[in-house]
Amino acid sequence: GGPTRSTRFTLAGARAERRSTGAVWQEPGPPDRHAGGRIRLAPGPGRWQGSAVADRLGGEMVEVLLAEADIRRQVEAIGRRVTADYAGRPLCLVGVLKGSFVFLADLVRAIDLPLTVDFIGISSYAGTKSTGVVKITSDLVRPIEGLDVLLVEDIVDTGLTVRYLLDNLSTRRPASLKVCAMLVKPSRARVEGPVDYRGFAIPARFVVGYGLDHDGRFRNLPFVGALRRER
């Protein structure tokens, strides 16, 4: 049997409810235990609801760290700064795949300038530990020589990935090269963090949502949350 005490939400309902920071959102577990593809939302800062605890086999809990509305406000603020800083220059945004695609999609619409977008794909992050190993799996489509390039990252953890990408891209002689990162974990920085535009500084927890994944999942969450693995 399923949970008995929690209110059940449809996905649409949950989207409306789960905006507030501190809410706990639970992924649907195995299909046989969660017929109908429903998810549950337990309100309150970092609390499990009793029924969610009873039902957590196979599920994962996501604690909301950055609510949708806070992210939107911050993306708009970054967009205004970029718009002012690059006025009249040939801006090219380079998104780092895959995680940055959500942030980049919102960011471009917050920038009021003519611009182009390209992507660079790097080897995906395995598990929850930083490997420091970076491999370009898909390169830019067009040359960036002479362009003002803004590298758009979802998250800067140790900074090794950004460092590698900056070294690589700078050999292609862009007119300028700066970094915009939605999330930064300052306590984890191992190289001088060259982040010019930063959305949020967050604690050293593994986060998902707003483009960020865990083993490929959770990218579509409209908020940023900390993953809590079940025992």
Chain residues binding ligand 5GP by CB under 6 A are 99, 125, 130, 154-161, 206-208, 212-214
Tell me whether residue 79 or residue 99 sits nearer to ligand 5GP (CB atom): 99
Q: Are 33 and 52 in contact (CB under 8 A)?
A: no
Of residues 152, 166, 132, 150, the one with CA closest to residue 199? 152
Q: How far is the CB of 118 from ligand 5GP (least distance, A)?
A: 17
Token pair listed for 68: 């949708």
Residue 139: CB atoms within 10 Å: 10
Q: Catalytic positions, please?
A: 157
Q: How far is the CB of 203 from ligand 5GP (least distance, A)?
A: 10
Q: How far is the CB of 215 from ligand 5GP (least distance, A)?
A: 9
Q: Are 145 and 163 in contact (CB under 8 A)?
A: no
How far apart CA 17 and CA 88 sit, in angstroms, is 41
Q: Are 118 and 145 in contact (CB under 8 A)?
A: no
- Is the bond preceding 98 in cis, omega lying within 30 degrees of 0? yes
Q: How far is the CB of 156 from ligand 5GP (least distance, A)?
A: 5
How far apart CA 133 and CA 195 sit, in angstroms, is 20
Q: How far is the CB of 223 from ligand 5GP (least distance, A)?
A: 14
Of residues 126, 145, 142, 123, the one with CA closest to residue 134? 123
Token pair listed for 194: 């060259």
Look at the block and give the residue holding tokens 């939107």.
72
Tell me whether residue 26 or residue 161 sits nearer to ligand 5GP (CB atom): 161
Q: Which residues, 6 or more positions from 105, have their beta carbon under 8 angstroms from its beta carbon?
A: none
Tell me whether residue 83 or residue 158 sits nearer to ligand 5GP (CB atom): 158
Tell me whether residue 40 or residue 214 sits nearer to ligand 5GP (CB atom): 214
Tell me whether residue 86 or residue 103 sits nearer to ligand 5GP (CB atom): 103
How far apart CA 53 and CA 83 sit, in angstroms, is 47
